Amino acid sequence: MTRRLQRGFFLKPTLDVSKALIGKFLIHEYKGQKLGGMIVETEAYIGKKDKAAHSYRGRRTPRTEVEYGAGGHVYIYMVYGMHYQLNFVTAGKEEPECVLIRALEPVAGIETMKKLRKTRDLNNLTNGPGKLCQALHLDKTLYGADLCARDSKLYIEDRGVKVGSREIKKGPRIGIDYAGPYWARVHWRFWLDRSWSRVYTFTKVESL
């Protein structure tokens, strides 16, 4: 049975949410059509203590303000002046933590997503944070959106897919060398081992 994820899911510890999102379905209702796929790769950012997080040491700016609210809201921003990255706020108020959605296996509205991405290559459709935002037509207008609101056009579904702990691998997060050796190497990126849509693989990985 399909059900939308509610607030309580996102109020749990961020690392737990990051792993639990694997196997859930991200859906965006766009122009009367559902676009989306199964989440197969995530990264966790643990707020004030995490040197790789935008909210490190309690940094609070107009961009990061949504992170200081309750879990279950959208934190989306642009990088390199051209790509959006989608994050879900986690934990409670004044705990500025989030999970970055890195990759999906496309399942809904695939032809429309191909047009939005200007590609016919299914393997290259949603296998990256910027790619999936383009494919699902996700942009800054969704900043602060409540994933748990009944009328939300962007939401997460639990469709009953069972993902065993042995199927989830973990490794270093991507592109955060600026945070220093420890934070660049901590294994807070998670992916579904049997997925062909994950962004990166490593020779040395750990099962959960």
pLDDT above 90 covers a percentage of the chain that reads: 90
Number of independent structural domains in the chain = 1
State pTM to two decimals: 0.93
The CATH number assigned to the domain holding 21 equals 3.10.300.10
Number of alpha helices (DSSP H) and beta strands (DSSP E) in the chain: 5, 10
Structural domain harbouring 191: 3-207
| 97 contacts 18 by C-beta, under 8 angstroms | no
pLDDT per position as a tens digit, 96-138 = 999 999 999 999 999 999 999 999 999 999 999 999 999 999 9
CA 11 vs CA 8, 15, 72, 88, 96: distances in Å: 5, 11, 8, 11, 12
